[in-house]
Amino acid sequence: MFGNPRFRFPSFHEIQQIVNGYVSSQLSRVNPVILLEYAFGKSQYLLNMLDLENFDIKAFLDRSIAKLTNVLQSNGKKFHTWEPYGNYNKTQLKKENDYVLIIPNHSMFQEPYKNLILNGAKMVLLSGKEFMKSFQDKFPSDRYINYSEHCDYFELKN
């Protein structure tokens, strides 16, 4: 894959604009948003790229993401305000449509997240693999955003 100009990834700033634009448009339609990402690293980047103050919403983290985020916070890393998903149950969240939930990719097939998706939550999957049809078939989503913090062709070339 390296050296192939086809695999160009947007900048962090571009991804931030895309994610916040999508979240804003879905929340204005009263659709909560579930962001799918790896538990360590990308989920924390994602939490900090959300424009939570302008949305006036809650950000919830899956248990595994919350544990890792707590460890990072205890070591001085700053994050936007968030709550562990475990503070709520799916019945409460079905009534509330003003939240963003960050979960690992594979969790979309498990309860309670599967139920939230069936009840109208919109999914956004961020991955460097989003361009592969086999990946999209394995992880169906409402929106795919090509995201990787790895070097792309143009960064390697310079």
Cross-strand bridge partners of residue 36: 103, 125
**47-64 per-residue burial string, b: 16 or more CB within 10 A, e: under 16:** bebbebeebebbbbbbee
Q: Is it the case that residue 156 has pLDDT exceeding 60?
A: no
Q: What is the pTM of this model?
A: 0.84
First to last CA, the chain: 17
Average pLDDT, the chain: 83
pLDDT band per the 50, 70, 90 thresholds, residue 7? low
Cross-strand bridge partners of residue 84: 61
pLDDT in tens, 104-153: 988 989 888 888 888 889 999 988 776 678 888 888 999 998 876 555 44
In the chain, the percentage of residues whose pLDDT exceeds 70 is 85
Listed by start position, the domains of the chain span: 12-157
Q: Is it the case that residue 17 has pLDDT exceeding 90?
A: yes
Rounded to whole angstroms, the Cα distance separating 115 from 156 reads 42
Which candidate, 146, 117, 128, 95, places its Cα nearest to that of 33?
117
Domain boundaries 12-157, corresponding CATH code: 3.40.50.10890
* 136: its two tokens: 């999209």
Rounded to whole angstroms, the Cα distance separating 26 from 122 reads 7
Q: Cα-atom radius of gyration of the chain, to the nearest Å? A: 16
Token match 């097939």: residue? 109
Q: Is it the case that residue 12 has pLDDT exceeding 90?
A: no
Cβ atoms within 10 Å, residue 11: 8
CB distance 100 to 50 below 8 Å: yes
What is the structure's pLDDT at 6?
62
What is the structure's pLDDT at 153?
47
